[in-house]
Every structure is written in structure tokens, then in C-alpha cells.
């Protein structure tokens, strides 16, 4: 290892640490925005929730996850499972 490579190594570690920190901050910001959007879903009526393929109980199930988890991810899984189940039933009937 030359002196130049040795001197450059800490800056690359610093850059990696800065990128990691930026990623953590971005993930935290995204989680905060998703949580705010999730809370706004609770303000919708049952009919409005049905229009987007959700029920009030879906919100409760998604919210009961661990504190650090993103409830919108769980909500997406619930909606996808329901959609796939309906599609499977429709295929069997026709």
C-alpha cells in the first residue's frame, strides 16, 4: 500500500459512513411520511376505504405490528392478498 492509498482510505470510509447515515435518515423520513399517510387513511369512511380495497379492520391489523415497522407495507400485503384471492375465485367460476 502506497502512502497515497493509505491516505485515501479514511476518506472512502468516511464517504461510506456518510452514505449510510444519509440512507438511515432517508429511511426514517420515508417511514414518518408513510405513517402520516396511514393515519390519514383512518379518517376515511368505510365506503372510501372499500373503494381502495381496504376495510377498517385492515387498518387495525396493519397498525398492530411492531413499532418500528412501516404499517403501509403490511397494508399493501393485505390488499394484494385480498385481490389475489378475488382473482382466483373469479377464475374458478368462469
Task: Tell me the per-residue pLDDT of 17-65, one tens digit each, with 9 for 90 and over.
Answer: 999 999 999 988 888 888 888 889 999 999 999 888 889 999 998 888 7
Q: What is the structure's pLDDT at 66?
A: 74
Question: pTM for the whole thing?
Answer: 0.61
User: What is each CA distance from 7 to 4, 39, 64, in whole angstroms?
Assistant: 5, 49, 50
Look at the block and give the residue holding cell 479514511.
10
Question: Which residues, at least 6 apart from 34, have a Cβ–Cβ distance to it below 8 Å?
Answer: 70, 71, 72
Q: What is the structure's pLDDT at 22?
A: 95
Q: Domain residues for 7? A: 3-93
Q: What is the structure's pLDDT at 73?
A: 87
Domain count along the chain? 1
Q: How far apart are CA 80 and CA 75, in angstroms?
A: 9
**What's the sign of the alpha-carbon dihedral 25, 31, 35, 37?**
positive
Amino acid at each position: 500500500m502506497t502512502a497515497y492509498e493509505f491516505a485515501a482510505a479514511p476518506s472512502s470510509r468516511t464517504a461510506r459512513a456518510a452514505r449510510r447515515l444519509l440512507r438511515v435518515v432517508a429511511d426514517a423520513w420515508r417511514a414518518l411520511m408513510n405513517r402520516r399517510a396511514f393515519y390519514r387513511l383512518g379518517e376515511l369512511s368505510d365506503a372510501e376505504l372499500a373503494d381502495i380495497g381496504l376495510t377498517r379492520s385492515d387498518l387495525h391489523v396493519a397498525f398492530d405490528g411492531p413499532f418500528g415497522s412501516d404499517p403501509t407495507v403490511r397494508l399493501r400485503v393485505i390488499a394484494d392478498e385480498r385481490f389475489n384471492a378475488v382473482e382466483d375465485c373469479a377464475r374458478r367460476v368462469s
